[in-house]
Amino acid sequence: MMIWIGLAGVLGALLRYSLGKVVSRKLGTSFPWGTWMINISGSVILGMLYGGHQAGNLPDEIWVVWGTGFCGAYTTFSTFGYETLTLMAQQRQTRAGIYVVSSVVVGVLGCLAGVWITA
């Protein structure tokens, strides 16, 4: 199972990097849209996996491989922290606050939506 988790992690990391670059190029970097969108979509995906697993429709192995491997590598708390500190260092406290609050609130709501979709 460890190999499958690792392979799913590789896929998640590559998708995170690629999507982050595309979003940043399209929307700019004055707000960390790439990381925000990745973390929110990752929350929805993890919620869907959790909902499917809790409903008995997703085997333990799939839950662990995709939840831990893919979602763990796809989403990024470290970049979220770094980008928040960067916004604050640039004297963009309001933007940093919006980033933090919206990431947490919308992320949790996204996870709940994912559970709802699959339950």
15-36 per-position pLDDT tens digit: 999 999 999 999 999 999 999 9
- Calculate mean pLDDT across residues 96-117: 98
> 51: Cβ–Cβ under 8 A, 6 or more apart, which residues?
114, 115, 116, 117, 118, 119
pLDDT tens digits, one per residue of 31-82: 999 999 999 999 999 999 999 999 999 999 999 999 999 999 999 999 999 9
Residues at the binding site for Na(+) are: 72, 75
Residues at the binding site are: 72, 75
Q: How confident is the model at residue 85, as a pLDDT?
A: 98
Q: How confident is the model at residue 30, as a pLDDT?
A: 93
**Quick one: pLDDT band at residue 115, thresholds 50, 70, 90?**
very high
Residues of the domain holding 64 = 2-118
DSSP 58: S
**Quick one: pLDDT band at residue 3, thresholds 50, 70, 90?**
very high
Whether the predicted pLDDT of 119 surpasses 90 = no
Q: Looking at this protein, which amino acid is placed at residue 19?
A: L
| pTM for this entry | 0.93
Half-sphere exposure of 76 (CA within 13 A, CB side): 24
**Cα(30)–Cα(1) distance, rounded to whole angstroms?**
40
* Residue from 61, 45, 63 nearest 53 by CA: 63
Q: State the DSSP string of 8-36.
A: HHHHHHHHHHHHHHHHHHHH-SSS-HHHH
Q: Looking at this protein, which amino acid is placed at residue 25?
A: R
Count: domains in the chain: 1
Give the mean pLDDT of the chain: 97
> 102: Cβ–Cβ under 8 A, 6 or more apart, which residues?
36
